[in-house]
Amino acid sequence: MQREIQVCHLGVVPYAAGVETQERLRARRLSGELPDLLLLLEHPPTYTVGRRAAAEELPFPREFYAQKGIEVHVTDRGGRITYHGPGQLVGYPIMGVDDVIEHLRTMERAIAGALGELGVKARGRVEDGPDYTGVWVAERKIASLGVHVSRGISTHGFAVNVENDLEPFSWVVACGLPDVQMTSLAAETDEAAEGLACFRKRMAYAFCEAHGARQRLVTPARLGIDTREAVAA
């Protein structure tokens, strides 16, 4: 029987609630109560600070970001600083991982494949070193990755810029790269070509296919997730 990955769409979820949800599900996955999962969602405007980030990568006072309506959260994922906001597709795989590097490479291939179906030629940049982890269109970055693996189970994952505002990336040293240029699916194509809802379905299929699995859509209630935590469905 073909391996199955459960896929759950959560809507817009505050970052702290998203972390708490991942931890609860990670414990259930570790105990064998749940199979491998992929959560797909959006976050309100948020900067996340990874384990490798330096203080100078947030160059403005916290009050500046608060005035812009952007929360700042320190996280246990790998990587540096990135931005999340509405219109960006965030994917949190909660799954067994034997090889962290291959886990990252598989996500990169899945994202590049989904974008390629829309005529966007995207790729990983393995040869350029760990600071270039993610998915790129020419020299422009369209997706960021950062994971945490504990006792063989992953949390955190990927963020693909679909139709989100890119300006907040310019207020930090995004991904630890001072000269990085961020892009999005909307910027690389006709903005009406495919919105987040359609790309979310495409990405779920590509992710499961890259793992040699079929997807099984499940509701938040099936996973014991209280959707009242969501800002919008």
**What pLDDT does 231 receive?**
46
Say whether pLDDT at 122 is over 90.
yes
Lowest-confidence region among 9-18, 39-48, 126-135, 220-229 = 220-229
Burial of 1 (0-12, 13-18, 19+ CB in 10 A): exposed
Say whether pLDDT at 228 is over 70.
no
User: Comparing C-alpha atoms, which of 159, 161, 165 is closest to residue 40?
Assistant: 159
Mean pLDDT of 69-86: 90
Mean pLDDT of 110-133: 93
**What pLDDT does 232 receive?**
43
Could you tell me the CATH number of the domain that includes residue 126? 3.30.930.10
pTM over 0.85: yes
Say whether pLDDT at 233 is over 60.
no
175 is catalytic: yes
Report the alpha-carbon angle 28-31-36, nearest 5: 60
Q: Structurally, how many domains does the chain consist of?
A: 1
Say whether pLDDT at 119 is over 50.
yes
Q: Which of 8, 175, 198, 208 is catalytic?
A: 175
Interval 169-197: pLDDT, tens? 999 988 788 888 999 999 999 766 789 99
Say whether pLDDT at 202 is over 90.
yes
Burial of 115 (0-12, 13-18, 19+ CB in 10 A): buried
Tokens of 187: 């910027």
**What pLDDT does 198 receive?**
94
Tokens of 8: 């759950």
Say whether pLDDT at 2 is over 80.
no
DSSP string, 133-158: -SEEETTEEEEEEEEEEETTEEEEEE
Q: What is the mean pLDDT of the chain?
A: 92
% pLDDT > 90, the chain = 77
Interval 10-48: pLDDT, tens? 999 999 999 999 999 999 999 999 999 999 999 999 999
Rg (CA), the chain: 17
Tell me which residue range forms the domain holding 98.
4-229
Residue 124: strand, helix, or coil = coil
